[in-house]
Amino acid sequence: MTAVVDLHTIRGVELIKAGTWQPDGIEGDWTVTPEHLAAAIEAHRAGLLRKPVVKIGHTDPRFDGGPALGFVDNLRLADGGSTLVADLVNVPGPVAKLLPHAYPDRSIEALIDFTDQAGTVWPLVLTGLALLGAADPAVETLQSLQDVGALYGEQIAARRVVLATNHGAPDRTRAVAVAAARRRRTHRVLTQPKGEACPPL
């Protein structure tokens, strides 16, 4: 029997926008131009490197054997050439379902001014896409994957529910009640006749 693999394509995901950003790993600011974005598409179409893999978090040498959770394909420009958009292809079903909740943000990994074997210099070559959960992305203006309705082109109906916590009695009243309970418990333990089991506290 052949197993069916549950893989998804997530279309139209924003990867990076033209602007000046402060990414980790680069000293100072990094200005991304529409020309950088167009060059990334050219490098991708030329098959300069393998298709960028989707992974959780940025590269950490301790976890360099982690699985690819899909790959980035169909790069294109949006917003008049100022946003690089792509599809995330072959994303495992459970990961695709978690994206809007556990990994709503992302961050590209790329080579800047990469020289290929023929001597051609490529201003920007994408090498990976890190899914981010707790960490903030350097490009903070990307559309969040939490907007899953727009992402999948569907109308999502939802009703927000807020559960209020029970704050209980005011602090002083509560402190007095806790102290009284402790006294009763201590009195019960100290006055228990020898040899008899103490009731549960």
Number of separate helices (H) and strands (E) present in the chain? 4, 8
Q: Taking the model in full, what pTM does it have?
A: 0.67
Q: What is the pLDDT along the chain (201 residues), one digit of tens a residue?
A: 677 788 989 999 989 899 888 776 667 788 889 999 999 999 999 998 999 999 888 766 666 677 888 999 999 999 999 999 999 999 988 888 888 877 788 888 888 899 988 899 999 999 998 887 767 666 666 666 766 445 444 444 444 444 444 444 455 666 667 677 667 766 555 555 555 544 444
Q: What is the dihedral of CA 93, 86, 17, 138, to 10 degrees?
A: 30
Helix (H, G, I), strand (E, B) or coil at 79: helix
- The encoded tokens of residue 70 equal 């899909």
Q: Are 143 and 14 in contact (CB under 8 A)?
A: yes
Q: How far apart are CA 8 and CA 119, in angstroms?
A: 37
Listing DSSP states for 6-33 in one string gives -EEEEEEEEEEESEEE--TTSSS-EEE-
